[in-house]
Amino acid sequence: MKSSNLGYPRIGEKREWKKTLESFWAGQIEEHDFLSIMESIRLAHIRKQKEIGIDLIPVGDFTFYDHMLDTAVMFGLVPERFQHTGDKVPLSIYFSMARGSKDAPACEMTKWFNTNYHYIVPELNSSLRPRLTENKPLKAFQEAKAKIGVKGKPVLIGPYTFIKLSKGYDSKQFPALILLLLPLYEQVLQELEKEGAEWVQIDEPILVTSLAKEEMATIAFIYQKLNEAAPRLNIMLQTYFEAVDWYEELIELPVQGIGFDFTCGLEENLKNLLKFGFPSDKILAAGMIDGRNIWRADLAEKRKLIETIAAVVPKDQLWLQPSSSLIHVPITVKNERNLSPLLKNSLAFADEKLEEIVYLAKLFRDEGAQEEDSYYQDNQQAIHLLKNDASRDNHLVQKEHEKLKNERAERKSPYLVRKKLQKEVWKLPILPTTTIGSFPQTAVVRKARQKFKKGEWSRPQYEQFIQHEIQKWIAIQEEIGLDVLVHGEFERTDMVEFFGEKLGGFAFTENGWVQSYGSRCVRPPIIYGDVEFLQPMTVKESVYAQSLTNKAVKGMLTGPVTLLNWSFVRDDRPRQEVVEQIALALRKEVEALEAEGISMIQVDEPALLEGLPLKEEKKQEYFEWAVRMFRIVTSTVEDTTQIHTHMCYCDFSAYMHDISKMDADVISIETSRSHGEIIPVFEKETYDKGIGLGVYDIHSPRIPPVEEIVAIIEQSLQVLDAEQFWINPDCGLKTRRAEETIASLKNMVAAAQLVRKRL
Ligand code: GLN
Ligand code: ZN
């Protein structure tokens, strides 16, 4: 029984990777130094996995930005606008594709399956002539062999997943694209075989989504070809994130090993394994240790699971590994200094997960590892302590949660009644203008927060600073002529951390960073205990802002589903129970705002779709509870209180019908970055409530001209009623500079005025 890994976090224990990238982009280091620092980071990661004792160490999983982008570049798939000629793609073009350049907008970026990792979407179109610009897995294999003496397991994204996740082609072109790319894949594998690689890991996570049965025939064709191309190279066909639908077909494919997820897809995959068995000429790579969450595994439980599997698949035909690449978890618990000892001892990040795998493999190889070992005993002790930790239970919360079951979570009156009442109370002009919540988090704002955190500033000093910012920006918004104002969110670092820090049941790491996209890392909080509302979290700033103006100021909260999806969640309770507790706590915040006279309240759900199951048949159920969560938070308010929500990052076009059931009085949705794809949806779908489709892209420093905004508004008004339409940017403005923000918003207000006149 061998131990294996699928992918190791790139970012480095101290985020060295991120820092190196950013200083290279800023021109502070030369390309030569950049490459050599990156090499040392890459090699250190392989060395570490070797020391931990992993038998099959992945190579080629490292990247300078994203592994999908690497694959596109390796195949020379550089969109024309980047004007690449010649063979090898230089770093400058590689990074332009990821981040845009003066002359060419970046490639689109989107979520990697149901994770918070974002990949760069390859653009395939008929004018591209794919070719192998470099064999990245080969280079990685050679490097690890030469420099560390490790015979790695090269990793690459499989052709089916790669094409499926790309854009720019229609389904008719799909077969042709496969035929174009297959020879390149074959060449990659042949060169690896020649170099002496034994195994290659080909990731096909698309296999866990709902594929049509015919697609399995295409996949069989692909792997037939790849297998014939390099007969001495073993292919580990790797799936993760869920169970596969076509188990029987999959195990018959001409590959030498198949990897399954026995955490997220445990039930289905295990059922299939026990029912249909597993071929005796293949390796089963069992994803045992959760690659998506941060809790220590219960070794006793895992042992039993391995025994169950080993009853079907002989031990020497089994690999033990994490359920997915470890890029979705932080690197090591070792450096955490602020967690309670009990919690710290209950966690396993990437390195600790690999240790668990190595130990389990040894246990089955009878190599000295035994249940009496201190490692095993310590694990069982930690599991026991966590299970019995009374601080995770909050009986008050549990009691309230119990009552929630029978709640209908409906507003007092239906939307049409509320609409009329709200119109009378709010007296807004037609096409009201507003923003999404945050204003620029300038260096001054960040510095002030640091001073406060370090204790250089007292709380009153810091709060005074925040008030001053609010005051400044209320005045700016009035001057610009916006109709509905916001306080600006200057007191918030991050829309999840801010609330997590104020709610009971959350814990925070010091170094628990995870890559979100490119060099951007996030530090998800840990939901450790029952989630409790302790005291109002946003009331003070909102009330202060409202006291400065006669215009409405929106209260501003992060919604329950987003808080859940952007945290590491306790796994001793169903996720639904956890999110219900969050919803209850947020409802108290909504009620506190309303009680203090804040009666326009926005509850942001940018990550609503992030938890959407990968399988079609599970999506409806997800929507039902996600929508219900929003309604629990927002349904107890008066009819005249106007509930807003905001969503972004995702393609919502297929889901407007479900989103409408959230019953928010007003919704704002990001539109520009997905190139207005959502607008045509409203030709068919009726949406009867207030809606703002972002009229300009906040991710770019560019100031949108008035005419451009007018055109976008008019386009939207062809499918939506002027009576329901709101005018706002795509998302919050915290990453923009003040001058850009003011200039852009002035144009937005001018555009609104122009369109109003024409109505
Ligand atoms: N209210 C938040 C802001 O404006 C929303 C952020 C988001 O959608 N991600 O920053
Ligand atoms: Zn947004």
Mapped to the 3 state alphabet, what secondary structure does 484-532 carry?
Answer: EECCECCCCCCCCHHHHHHCEEEECCCCCCEEEECCEEECCCEEEEEEE
Report the nearest atom of ligand 1 relative to the CA of 438.
4
Which of 123-132, 151-160, 395-404, 482-491 shows the lowest mean pLDDT across its residues?
A: 123-132
Strands 109-111 and 118-120: antiparallel
Angstrom CA distances, 718 to 579, 651, 713, 757, stand at 38, 20, 9, 16
Confidence of residue 241 (pLDDT cuts 50, 70, 90): very high
Question: Per-residue pLDDT tens for 411-433?
Answer: 999 999 999 999 999 999 999 99
Mean pLDDT of the region 373-398: 96
Mean pLDDT of the region 643-660: 89
Examine the pLDDT at 673 and tell me if it is beyond 70. Answer: no
**What proportion of the chain, given as a percentage, has pLDDT over 70?**
99
Question: Per-residue pLDDT tens for 572-587?
Answer: 999 999 999 999 999 9
> Is the CB of 437 within 6 Å of ligand 1?
yes
Residue nearest to atom 8 of ligand 1 (CA): 606
Question: Per-residue pLDDT tens for 524-547?
Answer: 999 999 999 999 999 999 999 999
User: Is 610 annotated as ligand-binding?
Assistant: yes
DSSP string across 529-545: EEEE--S-SSHHHHHHH
Question: Per-residue pLDDT tens for 82-120?
Answer: 999 888 999 999 999 999 888 888 898 888 999 999 999
Contact between 54 and 5 under an 8 Å Cβ cutoff? The reply is yes
* pLDDT confidence of residue 82: 93
Residue nearest to atom 9 of ligand 1 (CA): 606
User: Is 731 annotated as ligand-binding?
Assistant: yes
- Average pLDDT taken over every residue of the chain: 95
Q: Rounded CA gap, 145 and 160, in Å?
A: 29
CA neighbor of 731 nearest in space, from 708, 691, 699, 704: 699
User: Is 566 annotated as ligand-binding?
Assistant: yes
Q: Rounded CA gap, 531 and 581, in Å?
A: 6
DSSP 108: P
Cα of 15 vs centre of ligand 2, distance in Å, is 26
Question: Per-residue pLDDT tens for 676-685?
Answer: 677 888 888 7
Alpha helices in 333-442 (DSSP H): 341-344, 350-365, 374-387, 395-404, 415-426
Question: Per-residue pLDDT tens for 293-341?
Answer: 999 999 999 999 999 999 999 999 999 999 999 999 999 999 999 999 9
Cα of 491 vs centre of ligand 1, distance in Å, is 13
> Is the CB of 731 within 6 Å of ligand 1?
yes
* pLDDT confidence of residue 676: 67
Cα of 489 vs centre of ligand 1, distance in Å, is 9
Question: Per-residue pLDDT tens for 493-518?
Answer: 889 999 999 999 999 999 999 999 99
Examine the pLDDT at 557 and tell me if it is beyond 90. Answer: yes
* pLDDT confidence of residue 167: 93
Predicted model pTM: 0.94
> Is the CB of 606 within 6 Å of ligand 1?
yes
Examine the pLDDT at 675 and tell me if it is beyond 80. Answer: no
